[in-house]
C-alpha cells in the first residue's frame, strides 16, 4: 500500500482543443512511463475511434506517473459541456486541478464550465498557460483573465492565490517564469510536476477507519465482468474482502465481495494486495456496482451522498426504423434491441435519461446537448444498430406555473467582415448580446445569451456565414421564462415521389431546383428527402426519372449532364437540418432524411388533423 502522503490526484481541465491530451502525452513520456525504444501514438489517451477522428476527448480517463517518489494519478477530462457528466465524475476523484488555458485564446466558455465545477468542490487550481510559444500569445493577459474568471465564479481567497506555470505542451517544456517571445523558457515538464507536488494536498484519510470508496466510473471486462473505478477516501481495501454497496446514507446495504484490486501505473492497470486512502483503484467481483455508489465496511458502513449531475437540457425520440429500406444494412433493428442498448448506456453515461413513450417502439432520450446525443447515435450505428430519430427539442421546466427554458451562453470568434451576418442571425434566434471584444487583428469575440432552442441547427448556418473561419462554443447558463417563438428552417425540401434508383438524368433536371443530398445510383423511396428546395415550400419531385430513348441519335454533348456535387449528409447535419415532421434514418452504412409520413395523402391528412 502506497503511503497516502506520496499520492497526488489531479484532473486536467480545459476548453476543447487547448492542448490537454497532448500535455498528458508529454507527462507520460517525461516521467519514464514509456521506454526509450517504445513507439507511442500521439494523443495516447484518446483511444476511442470517435475521439481520434474528431480530435476531442469524450470519456474521462485515468493514468498515473511517478515523479520524485510520488505517485501522481492524472484524470484527463472532456472539455465539452455536453460531456459534463464525465467532468463531474472525474472531479469527484481528485484533490486538485490543473486548469490549462491557451495563451492566445484565453479562458473560453468550456473553461468556465469545468472551472465552476472545480471551484464549487473546493479544489485549488494550478493555472497552466499553454502554447506560450505561439505567435500572438498573451500570457500576462491570460493570467489576468483567469483571475477575473475565478472571481466571477465565487472563488475564495485561497483559490484566487493560484500558482501559474507557462508551458508548450507540444514541445515538452514548462517554466515558472515568463521568458522572451520566440525563445524556449524551460527545459522539460519538471516545473509543472514540482508545482503539483508543492500545491496539491495529499489525502488525509485514515487507513484504519471504515472503508469509503465512491465509484466514479465503470468499465467492463469479458473475464471479470463489471469494473468500478473510484478514489478511496478512508480505510483500506483488499482482494477477497467482504463489503457492502450503498446508494446513499438512507439506502439499503447490498452485500458483496471484492475479487481483484488494481491501481494505475502509466496507462496500465496492475493488481495490488491492498490499497489505502488517496489511491484511485479499480475493483471487480461486485455485480451491483454502479456510478455514485459507496463501497463501504459491512460492520460500520459510512456511505457518501450520491454524485449529483446537472439535468439534461435536450431531448430526442429514438424510433424503430420503418422506412422501405429498413433492415437492409443494420444488424440490430428491433425496439427491444434498441431499448436494451439504451439501458446499457445508462449504466455509465450518468448525464443521460431514457424513458418509454405511449407510442410503440418510440423512446424518449434526454441528454446535455446535440453533441452528447449524436455521439451516442454514432456509437450505436458503428455497433450495427439501425434506427430513426426525431428533431431535438429542449427540456422545459415549470417554475411556479411559468414555463422556463434552458439558456445557453454562446461565445463566437469571427472575422470582423462576418460580424454583421452572425449578429443578425443570433438576434433572429432571440440571442441577447452580452459582450463584444475586438482582438485588434481583424477578429472579434461576441458573447450572447440565447435560448437553447435557438442553437438547434445553428452550427451549419454559422459555418456558412463565416465561410468556415468562425469558432463557436456554448455552455448551459440556467433556466429563464420562455422567450417566445423562434423562426425555423428558411428553405423547404425536395421529396421523392416514388421508389427506385437515382439517375444522373433526373439529378440534371432537378439541379436548378436546389441542392441535393443524393448522388446517382443511390436508392430512394416515396417520402424520402432528396435535397433542399431553393424556395421556402416543400416540393414533390421525380428523382428516379430516366431519359426517353428514341430512334434518333443526338450529338454526344447532350449526354454530358452537369450536376452540382451533393451535400455531405452527416449524422450531425441531418439531426440539425430536420423539421418537426421529419426524421433522420440512421444505419451502419447510411444517413438519410425522410418525412415522418411517407405518402403525400398521409401528410395532407395529418396536416388537417394537426390544424
Task: List residues forming the annotated binding site for GTP.
Answer: 17-22, 130-133
H helices then E strands: how many in the chain? 15, 33
**Residue 414 host element (H or E):** strand 402-415
266 Rama class: left (phi>0) / alpha (psi -120 to 50) / beta? left
Write the burial class of residue 300 (CB in 10 Å: 0-12 exposed, 13-18 middle, 19+ buried): exposed
Nearest partner of 218 among 92, 79, 89, 94, judged by Cα? 89
Nearest partner of 297 among 170, 164, 400, 207, judged by Cα? 207
- Compute the C-alpha angle 489/495/499, nearest 5°: 155
Residue 448 and residue 474: Cα distance in Å, rounded?
9
The residue whose grid cell reads 451502419 is 588
Residue 399 and residue 88: Cα distance in Å, rounded?
26
Q: Which 8-state DSSP code applies to residue 4?
A: G
Phi, psi of 380 (to 5 degrees): -65, -45
3-state secondary structure of 480: strand
- Contact status, residue 380 vs residue 387, Cβ threshold 8 Å: yes
Write the burial class of residue 240 (CB in 10 Å: 0-12 exposed, 13-18 middle, 19+ buried): exposed
Q: Which 8-state DSSP code applies to residue 455?
A: H
Strand 294-296 and strand 212-221: pairing? antiparallel
Nearest partner of 278 among 202, 211, 210, 195, judged by Cα? 202
Nearest partner of 459 among 362, 383, 392, 388, judged by Cα? 392
Facing residues of 356 across strands?
363
Phi, psi of 136 (to 5 degrees): 85, 5
Q: How far is CA 158 from CA 95, 148, 161, in A?
A: 14, 15, 5
Sign of CA dihedral 61, 118, 31, 201: negative
Q: How far is CA 47 from CA 63, 79, 81, 397, 558, in A?
A: 13, 16, 20, 37, 52
Nearest partner of 230 among 277, 299, 300, 298, judged by Cα? 277
Mark the binding-site residues, compressed into ranges: 17-22, 130-133
Alpha helices in 153-225 (DSSP H): 157-160, 190-199
Cell of 93: 476523484
At a CB cut-off of 8 Å and minimum separation 6, what does 16 contact? 56, 79, 80, 108, 110, 473
Residue 82 and residue 371: Cα distance in Å, rounded?
6
Q: Which 8-state DSSP code applies to residue 476?
A: E
Amino acid at each position: 500500500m502506497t503511503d497516502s502522503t506520496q499520492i497526488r490526484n489531479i484532473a486536467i481541465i480545459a476548453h476543447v482543443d487547448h492542448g490537454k491530451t497532448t500535455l498528458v502525452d508529454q507527462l507520460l513520456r517525461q516521467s519514464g512511463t514509456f521506454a526509450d525504444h517504445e513507439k507511442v501514438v500521439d494523443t495516447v489517451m484518446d483511444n476511442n475511434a470517435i475521439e481520434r477522428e474528431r480530435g476531442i476527448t469524450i470519456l474521462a480517463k485515468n493514468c498515473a506517473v511517478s515523479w520524485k517518489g510520488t505517485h501522481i494519478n492524472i484524470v484527463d477530462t472532456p472539455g465539452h459541456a455536453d460531456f459534463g457528466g464525465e467532468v463531474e465524475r472525474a472531479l469527484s476523484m481528485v484533490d486538485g486541478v490543473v486548469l490549462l488555458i491557451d495563451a492566445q485564446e484565453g479562458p473560453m466558455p468550456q473553461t468556465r464550465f469545468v472551472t465552476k465545477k472545480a471551484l464549487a468542490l473546493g479544489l485549488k487550481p494550478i493555472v497552466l498557460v499553454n502554447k506560450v510559444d505561439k505567435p500572438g500569445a498573451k500570457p500576462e493577459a491570460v493570467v489576468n483573465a483567469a483571475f477575473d474568471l475565478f472571481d466571477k465564479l465565487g472563488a475564495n481567497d485561497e483559490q484566487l492565490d493560484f500558482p501559474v506555470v507557462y508551458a508548450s505542451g507540444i514541445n515538452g517544456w514548462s517554466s515558472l517564469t515568463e521568458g522572451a517571445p520566440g525563445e524556449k523558457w524551460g527545459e522539460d515538464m519538471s516545473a509543472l510536476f514540482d508545482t503539483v507536488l508543492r500545491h496539491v494536498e495529499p489525502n488525509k484519510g485514515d487507513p484504519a477507519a471504515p472503508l469509503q470508496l465512491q465509484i466514479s466510473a465503470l468499465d467492463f471486462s469479458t473475464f471479470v465482468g463489471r469494473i468500478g473505478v473510484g478514489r478511496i477516501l478512508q480505510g483500506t481495501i483488499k482482494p477477497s474482502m467482504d463489503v457492502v454497496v450503498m446508494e446513499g446514507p438512507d439506502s439499503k446495504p447490498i452485500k458483496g465481495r471484492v475479487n481483484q484490486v488494481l491501481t494505475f501505473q502509466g496507462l496500465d492497470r496492475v493488481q495490488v494486495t491492498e490499497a489505502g486512502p488517496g489511491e484511485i483503484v479499480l475493483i471487480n467481483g461486485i455485480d451491483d456496482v454502479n456510478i455514485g455508489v459507496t463501497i463501504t465496511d459491512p460492520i460500520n458502513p459510512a456511505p457518501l451522498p450520491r454524485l449529483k449531475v446537472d439535468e439534461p437540457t435536450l431531448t430526442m425520440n429514438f424510433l424503430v426504423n420503418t422506412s422501405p429500406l429498413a433492415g437492409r444494412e443494420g444488424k440490430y433493428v428491433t425496439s427491444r434491441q434498441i431499448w436494451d442498448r439504451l439501458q446499457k448506456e445508462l449504466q455509465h453515461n450518468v448525464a443521460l435519461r431514457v424513458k418509454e413513450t405511449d407510442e410503440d417502439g418510440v423512446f424518449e432520450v434526454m441528454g446535455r446537448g446535440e453533441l452528447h446525443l449524436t455521439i451516442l447515435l454514432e456509437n450505436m450505428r458503428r455497433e450495427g444498430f439501425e434506427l430513426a430519430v426525431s428533431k431535438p427539442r429542449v427540456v422545459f421546466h415549470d417554475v411556479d406555473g411559468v414555463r422556463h427554458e434552458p439558456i445557453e451562453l454562446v461565445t463566437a470568434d469571427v472575422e470582423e467582415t462576418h460580424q454583421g451576418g452572425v449578429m443578425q442571425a443570433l438576434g433572429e434566434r432571440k440571442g441577447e448580446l452580452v459582450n463584444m471584444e475586438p482582438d485588434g487583428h481583424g477578429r472579434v469575440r461576441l458573447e450572447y445569451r440565447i435560448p437553447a432552442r435557438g442553437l438547434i441547427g445553428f452550427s451549419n448556418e454559422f459555418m456558412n456565414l463565416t465561410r468556415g473561419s468562425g469558432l463557436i462554443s456554448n455552455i448551459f447558463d440556467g433556466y429563464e421564462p420562455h422567450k417566445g417563438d423562434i423562426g425555423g428552417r428558411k428553405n423547404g425540401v425536395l421529396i421523392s415521389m416514388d421508389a427506385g434508383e437515382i439517375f444522373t438524368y433526373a439529378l440534371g433536371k432537378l439541379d436548378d431546383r436546389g441542392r441535393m443530398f443524393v448522388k446517382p445510383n443511390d436508392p430512394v423511396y416515396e417520402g424520402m428527402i432528396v435535397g433542399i428546395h431553393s424556395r421556402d415550400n416543400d416540393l414533390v419531385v421525380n428523382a428516379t426519372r430516366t431519359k426517353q430513348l428514341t430512334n434518333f441519335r443526338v450529338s454526344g454533348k447532350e449526354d454530358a449532364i452537369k450536376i452540382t456535387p451533393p451535400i455531405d449528409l452527416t449524422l450531425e447535419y441531418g439531426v440539425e437540418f430536420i423539421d418537426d415532421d421529419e426524421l433522420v434514418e440512421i444505419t451502419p452504412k447510411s444517413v438519410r432524411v425522410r418525412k415522418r409520413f411517407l405518402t403525400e395523402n398521409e401528410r395532407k391528412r395529418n396536416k388537417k388533423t394537426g390544424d
